[in-house]
Amino acid sequence: MDLQRLETVSRRLALEAGDRIMEIYGSADFAVRTKSDASPVTEADEAADALISAGLRAAFPDVALVTEEQAASHGQSVSTFLIVDPLDGTKEFVQRRGDFTVNIAYVENGVPIRGVVYAPAKGRLFYTRADGQSVEEAAPFAKDKIGPLSLMAVSKPDNSALMVVASKSHRDQATDDYIGKYAVKDMTSAGSSLKFCLVATGEADLYPRLGRTMEWDTAAGDAVLRGAGGHVVRFDDHQPLAYGKPGFDNPFFIAYAPGVDLKVS
């Protein structure tokens, strides 16, 4: 994989998909239907998926591609591949809350090593550069020119006063019970893969997820967090979260800054 080209192409496609999503987001009405797993999908999901898929297939024709909207056609597990969630946080999109993201990641031997997370309604763009360092680019964003960059680095957590981020749409009692094991200074809620990015920027120390997710939900945010010095581990045994699993289902997981005294389940 040409990692410099991957950075350039993925960043541009994420921005282009974000433009298309915001066109639909700003319209008076847009179509929403329910998929077989009862999750919502909109014309924005499908338009962004088509745009990103075409761009990645043209640029990297020999690399396997998995996307949320086309996953059913990808019947086997893989270890090295591109993986896309064209619109993570569809519920936030439908409710016009802004916490939705475009996600593009590259997984090599089961590890997400590069990723782009773009939150078009928030004006925030996070990605791993070709050298593996995660950065946040300042808005406004030009497709063909990179703007001012800030290097991303996780916090140095204080275990007596942790900052915790949790899901906005999928918070439950089990999550609250687990968070209750920690000394928490403050909590915030965020939608989509933004939660990984808040840990990656040091705005939060800990993000536990005790609920169903798929690999396309997490791969780009996971890559960005890793490139900022953070970790994502399974909830049950604290082993690194692996990718390319059959069916692309994730177990429960914990994303955190090193130094957090992880609690057992």
User: Which of 99, 124, 151 marks a domain boundary?
Assistant: 151
Token pair in block for residue 131: 């050298």
Domain count, the chain: 2
Q: How far is CA 82 from CA 102, 215, 253, in A?
A: 14, 11, 21
Tens of pLDDT, residue by residue over 141-166, are: 999 999 999 999 999 999 999 999 98
* Confidence (pLDDT) at 74: 55
Going by C-alpha positions, the residue among 165, 260, 181 that lies closest to residue 221 is: 165
The residue among 4 and 43 whose pLDDT is bigger is 4
- Angle separating helix axes 3-25 and 43-59, nearest 10 degrees: 160
Residue 124 CB neighbours (<10 A): 18
Question: Which structural domain range is residue 179 located in?
Answer: 162-256
CATH number at residue 30: 3.30.540.10
Residue 77 has pLDDT above 90, yes or no: no
What span, in angstroms and rounded, lies between the C-alpha atoms of 154 and 136? Answer: 13
Tens of pLDDT, residue by residue over 34-48, are: 665 556 677 888 999
Q: H helices within the chain, ranges in order? A: 3-25, 43-59, 90-94, 173-179, 194-200, 215-227
* Confidence (pLDDT) at 167: 79
SS3 186: strand
User: Which of 151, 171, 193 marks a domain boundary?
Assistant: 151
Residue 73 has pLDDT above 60, yes or no: no
Q: Do 38 and 97 belong together in one domain?
A: yes
Q: Do 84 and 190 belong together in one domain?
A: no
C-beta separation of 119 from 194 below 8 A: yes
Q: Do 216 and 135 belong together in one domain?
A: no
pLDDT category at 94 given cuts 50, 70, 90 is confident
239: Cβ contacts below 8 Å, ≥ 6 apart: 233
User: Which of 151, 170, 187 marks a domain boundary?
Assistant: 151
* Confidence (pLDDT) at 41: 72
* Confidence (pLDDT) at 85: 95
